[in-house]
Every structure is written in structure tokens, then in C-alpha cells.
Amino acid sequence: MPVNAFLTSLPMKYLTLLAAALSVAQAAPPNHTTLSECLVDAQVPSLGPCSTGWNQTIIPYNLRANYTPVLLAIPKTVNHVSAAVKCAKAYGAKVQARGGGHSYAAMGLGGTDGSFIIDMEKFKSISLYNNIATVGAGVRLGNLATYLYSSGKRALPHGLCPGVGIGGHALHGGFGMTSRMWGTTLDNIVEMQVVLADGSVAITSASQNSNLFWALRGAGSSYGIVTYFKFATKSAPTVATYFQYQYYSPSIDIKTKTILAMQEFGKAMAPKELALRIFFSNDTFQVYGVYWGPKTKWEKAIAPLLTHLPIAGRVSSVPGQEMEWLPTLVQLNNGGQLTQPLSYNMHDTFFAKSIVTPGMGHLGEATLKNFFTYLATDGQKAPVNWWVMYDLYGGAGSMISAPTLSDTAYAHRDSLFTIQIFSTPPGQAPPYPESGYSFVDGIVDSITKYQNETIFKAYTNYIDHTLTKEQAWDLYYGQEQMVKLNKVKDAVDPTRVFWNPQAIRA
Ligand SMILES: Cc1cc2nc3c(=O)[nH]c(=O)nc-3n(C[C@H](O)[C@H](O)[C@H](O)COP(=O)(O)OP(=O)(O)OC[C@H]3O[C@@H](n4cnc5c(N)ncnc54)[C@H](O)[C@@H]3O)c2cc1C
């Protein structure tokens, strides 16, 4: 029954009593005067700058991006999350969730000083029923993969680094080596529970709060705090074929030919079961990947690429090695274990950018030569160590390209390759040198400014704090998605409770 109809159906004496109770409730002053007291009153566990463990708790994964929040709530229940958001709203605090804390720009710490952080680390439960996994927002990818496989050989597409949190990963994309076959992580979400800006709790799915469901899958951090995800899991492949071709000191010509061959192959010939990557560092590069099936099928699938891959400069190869599912994930994680401890404490120091190439905007030969010349000149004397990674996203049959822009807010459906440019200071410890930023910008410019007739984009999960919010909105979502993202934001969070420097309506 609607609330108004319910009220008019009550006898008068109950209405009088209700009105009196409401006026007492409204008149009663809050018994707290600060955000911190509000949290204490609501019994939400929290830490502040004077708490034991505060300094340790606010260390970001990326030590380059240090920010100090005002307070950090560590809720154990959805009611705690709701109470924490209500307190934040009452005191005008800007809120961000922290999932696995792996944001490149520490957006899980607000991406700036003075945010109120709701840390989802206690939301670690995973369960599986009828092949639907219910996953707490504090789960890390490695623990998710091992749980799913041990519970009926199930799996999901997601990234390779086992410490990354499902929260940020699934709400902003989630690319992994099975994504051409199964889509991104967010394409497999069927339901989420989310705490909204007014503290209310909503279920979102294709049939409930569908606009919010759309916006959360691509720009989630701007819309609420997701407490759990439901994913439609997949049957893990029984066999995978890993392959790798390594080159040492290759010429610019060899590198250019390799990328041109991969583009042609990727566009029309790579089956969706094939994951294909090329990884460049100073003196070497590797073409590698996985075919999610037996070696005999891989041989057929890879043959058109192999005939065009240069032989000169090749120093070693793994021409197809069959493996089971979990060992393949370990191999792709360079041998690192998948399961992660509850007291996770790993760090890196880095700055990265990304280039999303659109389907028709292949990199031309002259662009590639310009790019490799920059790497061979400026790259040799760079103030940082660096690598560049090309991942095949699109091409014939890719499930990343299957959904449309109206299916999810994630915007890069027609991308052929996504390129990540990653840099670390020597020793991988702070400080990150100022000159590193311009060097990395130079790598990006050697492609995007050189081939300026192509509209390149960028990937939200490789978030780049040096972009203005307007640049970020354009590169991560584009104009068409922004119109709807702004509308949904205005509807569910008009006072901009969920905020970071590049959030929707920041
Ligand atoms: C070593 C490493 C490897 C990576 N590999 C890959 C890869 O292979 N593929 C790929 O696609 N990406 C990869 N990434 C990028 C990664 O997907 C993103 O950094 C991701 O956003 C991290 O999520 P998180 O929860 O760990 O981070 P956090 O810093 O906790 O969160 C990131 C953003 O998501 C928001 N958020 C987190 N949880 C919630 C929630 N429950 N509700 C609402 N908002 C939330 C935060 O507020 C923040 O804005 C990698 C990152 C690293 C550091």
C-alpha cells in the first residue's frame, strides 16, 4: 500500500499519536555535533587521525598517491554502511568507498585530502548457488578465482593481479584474459545491493532500478556504495594453451611489423577464445597469450598471425603449452600465488596512462614508427623504468564488443586494442620524479598527437589523476554516455555525496 493511502486509512487517534511522535523526533536535537560522533552514535566502527593504526590504514597501494582522509569507517553490515552515508550527508562530507585499494590514483582514499572513506574490507563473503556467485565488495580477485574454481570449477572474467579488489574493478570495467570470450567483469553482473546518497538501500538489476544498474556498471564510484555483487559465473575451461614469443633488441621495423600483423589478425581472424597481448620494455618485447581450448585448436587459430610475425630478433618461444585453469592464471600472474591474505599489505610506486584505440582507428605504420622512435630515443634515457602493454579487446566475435552503449555505462565497446603505459621510479619506491610525468605524456602523444585524425579514448580502471575532470569524462565515457550519467547522478545523488576529483558531476 502506498504511504499516503496507508496514512489516510489510519483511525484519527493513531494519526494524532503518530504526528506527536514525529514532531518529538524532529524536534529532538542530534546528540552529536561532528561526523565522528555521528558514527559513534550509530555504532559504526571507524578510525580517525588519532586512532591506533591510522597511519598504516591509510597507506595507498600506489605510494605515489598519498592522501589523508578525514575519517575512515569500517562497516561490518549494510546497516553500518547506510548509517555512515547518512552521517556523511548530514555533515557534508565527500564519500568514496575503498574496495581493494588498487586505484592507480588512490580514488579509494578519495583521490584528494579530506574525504570520508567507507572501507569495505569486512565484506569478504562469497557464495555460489545455481551458478550465481554472491560476492562481498571487499573480496580480492585471487580469492574470488580460487573460491569459484573450488566450488564446482566455476570462473569469471577479471584482471590478473590477485590483490585487486572486486569493488573498483567490476564497477569500472574489469578486463582479463578471458574477456574476449566472456566480456568484462561488469558484463557478468546480474544484481548489486547499493547504499545510496540518502542512506537508503537499493537492489539494482536489469529489472530493478535499471538506470542505476546501467550507471553503476562503468561509473560505479559516483553513484553509491555497492555492498555485494551477484555474478553469472562461467564453466572454467578444462584446458588452456599458453603461448609466448620473445624478442631481444628488436629494430623499429620489427616492432612496427609485429603490431601491424597483430592489428590485421586481431581485427578479423582472432577467435574470441584467444587472448593476445604484446608487452614492450626497453630492450625486449613479448607476444603472448592464451587460447582457451586445446593446443590443436590453438594451432589453427594462431596460424594466420604466425605467418606474419617477424622471426628476426626472436630469442625464445613457447609454441603452445597446455595447462589447466588455475595454473594458467598463476602463469599469467608471473608465477605469483592467487590467494591473498586478509591482512593484505602490498605496494608499488607508479604512474600510468592508457590509450583506447577505436575499432576503425588502427595505428598506422608512420604512427608506430614515430612511437617506437620515441621509445628508442627518450625511452633509453628516461627518468623512470617503463613498459607498454597492448591488449587485444575487440575484433571479430569479441564479447567485449557485443553489448551496446545503452547496455552499460562502460563506453569502450568498439575498441580494438587498449594500450597501457606504465612507469616506476628506480627501486619502485617514492619519490616519483616530476620528469616521469612528461616522459609518459610523451609516449601517449607520440601516438595520439601524431595520428590526430583518430579519436582515442582512455580506460577508467587505469585512472589518470593528471586529467581534468572534463578530460576524464570525455576520455572515459564520451558525450553520449555523459548525458545519461549526469541525469542518473542528478536523480540519485543531487548533493554529490559520492565524489572524487573526476567523479560524475564533480
Ligand atoms: C597491480 C594492478 C593490476 C591491475 N590489473 C588490471 C587488469 O588486469 N585489468 C583491469 O581491468 N584492471 C586492472 N587494474 C586496475 C584495477 O581494475 C582498478 O585499479 C580498480 O579500480 C581497483 O579496484 P579496487 O577496489 O582494488 O580499488 P579502490 O582503490 O578501492 O577503488 C577504486 C575506485 O572504485 C571505487 N569503489 C571501490 N569499491 C567500491 C564499492 N564497493 N562501491 C562503490 N565504489 C567502489 C572507489 O571509491 C574508487 O573510486 C590493476 C590495478 C593494479 C594496481
pLDDT band, very low/low/confident/very high, at 28 (cuts 50, 70, 90)? low
Mutate to test the pocket of ligand 1, among 103, 144, 196, 230 (most ligand atoms within 8 A of CB): 103
The architecture in CATH of the region 240-323 reads: 3-Layer(aba) Sandwich (3.40)
pLDDT band, very low/low/confident/very high, at 29 (cuts 50, 70, 90)? low
Mutate to test the pocket of ligand 1, among 80, 119, 158, 164 (most ligand atoms within 8 A of CB): 164
pLDDT in tens, 248-293: 988 999 999 999 999 999 999 999 999 999 999 988 999 999 999 9
Nearest CA to ligand 1 atom 33: 168
CA of 169 to the centre of ligand 1 (A): 4
Nearest CA to ligand 1 atom 49: 107
By percentage, how much of the chain surpasses pLDDT 70?
A: 94
CA of 271 to the centre of ligand 1 (A): 28
Of 13-17, 275-279, 372-376, least confident by mean pLDDT is 13-17
pLDDT in tens, 196-210: 999 999 999 999 999
What is the rounded distance in angstroms from the CA atom of residue 394 to the CA atom of residue 400?
6
Q: Above 70 in pLDDT, residue 344?
A: yes
Q: Is 352 in the pocket of ligand 1 (CB under 6 A)?
A: no
Q: Above 70 in pLDDT, residue 362?
A: yes
Residues 289 and 316: beta-carbon distance below 8 Å: no
What is the rounded distance in angstroms from the CA atom of residue 411 to the CA atom of residue 138?
25
Q: Is 500 in the pocket of ligand 1 (CB under 6 A)?
A: yes
Beta pairing partners, 266: none
Q: Other CB atoms closer than 10 Å to residue 370's CB: what's the count?
A: 19
pLDDT band, very low/low/confident/very high, at 10 (cuts 50, 70, 90)? very low
Closest residue by Cα to residue 370 from 438, 448, 441: 448
Residues 143 and 222: beta-carbon distance below 8 Å: no
Q: Is 104 in the pocket of ligand 1 (CB under 6 A)?
A: yes
pLDDT band, very low/low/confident/very high, at 32 (cuts 50, 70, 90)? confident
CA of 384 to the centre of ligand 1 (A): 24
Q: Above 60 in pLDDT, residue 216?
A: yes
pLDDT at 360: 67
Q: Is 365 helix (H, G, I), strand (E, B) or coil?
A: helix
Beta pairing partners, 136: 228
User: If you average pLDDT over residues 118-144, what whole number do you get?
Assistant: 98
Cα dist from 502 to 147, 344, 477, whole Å? 34, 27, 12
Distance of CA 435 to the CA centre of its chain: 27
What is the rounded distance in angstroms from the CA atom of residue 320 to the CA atom of residue 341?
33
CA of 165 to the centre of ligand 1 (A): 6
Domain boundaries, the chain: 240-323
CA of 65 to the centre of ligand 1 (A): 14
